[in-house]
Amino acid sequence: MSLNHIFSVAPMLDWTDRHERYFLRLLSEKAFLYTEMVTTGAILHANPARFLCYSEAEHPLALQLGGSDPDALAACARIGNQYGYDEINLNVGCPSERVKSGSFGACLMAEPKLVAECVQAMKSVVDIPVTVKHRIGIDYRDSWDELCEFIEIVSSAGCQLFIVHARKAWLQGLSPRQNREIPPLKYQTVYDLKKRYPQLAFVINGGINTIAEAKQHLAFVDGVMMGREAYHNPYVLADVDTQLYGQEKNIADREQVLMKLLPYIEDELMKGTKLHAITRHIMGLFLGVPGAKAWRRHLSEYGNKKGAGLEVVLEAARKLDLTPGK
């Protein structure tokens, strides 16, 4: 397992786009980043560059694919490899109706042999790791034996790293949001997987909100994946490199992070990117800092306006108390 998997940021649909990932990279050099899920159809039947382009600064970076056809996934994995991604990840965890209707995501946990075929097909055409992100079970198929069967069949196809959301998914009756909150977290189940299969790498996901919590999990598994907390409170990543990777460096304060982002925003605006496409991701940068509410309000109110430029960000920053170290 790459050392970079010690800490990663979860793939989140409509959230972890290239602007968000560039921003997060300013906070941590080491965190492993994931694209939002991209379906095989979007890559094969549309403009791949629209979904796959990224900044070289985003590495290490994985492409998460959504699909269930081995041939289509292999074709997309090959394209992802050509684009220079560091890993291909298969989504076997998303419980949304849209994903379920496409016969992929969490419902694939009921078909471990098909998942294995998908993994094998992708591995046959790329020279980078192929990993799987999944739940601990679905509906009433959530026994320990069924989970172990899934791991054994998929690992036999060559998957050596499993990212496990430590909740089951209810495919009937719960919304995606409810599936992130209602099924109880069962961290011990993931710990037990590592005990049973020490030769495999396991990254734990679900409800992890602090670096202190990450450290606790790392006593039992190979890595941790943080989701929504990293999005809403991104400055939590400022401690990742020093606390989890032992890197000796001065942690950039929030203002320094913003200053580093400004040239990127300016460059993207010149390319035709709308300001809000970037600023929507940095609302939480100053969480807990005096003036943070005014910062968010200004970006929300003026970032969407036609012709909005860098001055909107600078004016929003003036509403903050940027005492050094905050």
Q: How far is the C-alpha of 262 from the C-alpha of 2, rounded, in Å?
A: 31
Domain parsing of the chain, residue ranges? 3-245, 254-317
Please list the residues that pair with 131 across neighbouring strands: 89
pLDDT tier, 294 (very low <50, low <70, confident <90, very high otherwise): very high
**pLDDT recorded at residue 102:** 61
Share of the chain above pLDDT 90, in %: 84
Q: Which CATH number is 3-245 given?
A: 3.20.20.70
Q: How far is the C-alpha of 95 from the C-alpha of 36, rounded, in Å?
A: 15
Burial 50-63 (b: 16+ CB within 10 A, else e): ebbebeeebbbbbb
Q: How far is the C-alpha of 314 from the C-alpha of 253, rounded, in Å?
A: 17
Condensed to tens digits (0 to 9), the pLDDT of residues 109-147 reads 999 999 999 999 999 999 999 999 999 999 988 999 999
Closest by CA to 6, choosing from 167, 165, 163, is: 163
Q: Is the pLDDT of residue 176 over 80?
A: no
Alpha helices in the chain (DSSP H): 18-25, 40-44, 48-52, 70-82, 97-101, 112-123, 144-156, 176-179, 187-196, 211-217, 228-232, 240-245, 254-270, 275-279, 292-302, 310-317
Q: Which of 76, 94, 118, 159 is catalytic?
A: 94
Q: How far is the C-alpha of 71 from the C-alpha of 51, rounded, in Å?
A: 19
Q: How far is the C-alpha of 139 from the C-alpha of 173, rounded, in Å?
A: 10
- CA distance to 30, 164, 200, 222, 229, per residue, from 205 (Å): 18, 6, 16, 11, 12
Write down the residue that tokens 């403009």 correspond to: 47
**pLDDT recorded at residue 97:** 61
Q: Is the pLDDT of residue 5 over 60?
A: yes
Q: How far is the C-alpha of 135 from the C-alpha of 166, rounded, in Å?
A: 6
Q: Which CATH number is 254-317 given?
A: 1.20.120.1460
Q: Is 159 a catalytic residue?
A: no
For the residues 49-64, what does the mean pLDDT come to?
96
150 or 252, which is more confident?
A: 150
pLDDT tier, 182 (very low <50, low <70, confident <90, very high otherwise): confident
Share of the chain above pLDDT 70, in %: 95
Condensed to tens digits (0 to 9), the pLDDT of residues 212-248 reads 999 999 999 999 999 999 999 999 999 999 999 999 8
Condensed to tens digits (0 to 9), the pLDDT of residues 6-54 reads 999 999 999 999 999 999 999 999 999 999 999 999 999 988 899 999 9
Q: How far is the C-alpha of 35 from the C-alpha of 233, rounded, in Å?
A: 19
- Name the region of 14 (left: φ>0; alpha: ψ -120 to 50; beta: rest): left
Q: Is the pLDDT of residue 325 over 50?
A: no
**pLDDT recorded at residue 100:** 53
Rounded to the nearest 5°, which phi and psi values hold at 280?
Answer: -65, -20
**pLDDT recorded at residue 94:** 86
For the residues 192-211, what does the mean pLDDT come to?
98
Tokens found for residue 5: 């998997």
Closest by CA to 231, choosing from 13, 55, 30, 2, is: 13
Q: State the pTM of this model.
A: 0.94
Tokens found for residue 144: 């320990």
Closest by CA to 241, choosing from 226, 231, 251, is: 251
For the residues 149-174, what does the mean pLDDT come to?
94
Tell me the average pLDDT of the chain: 93
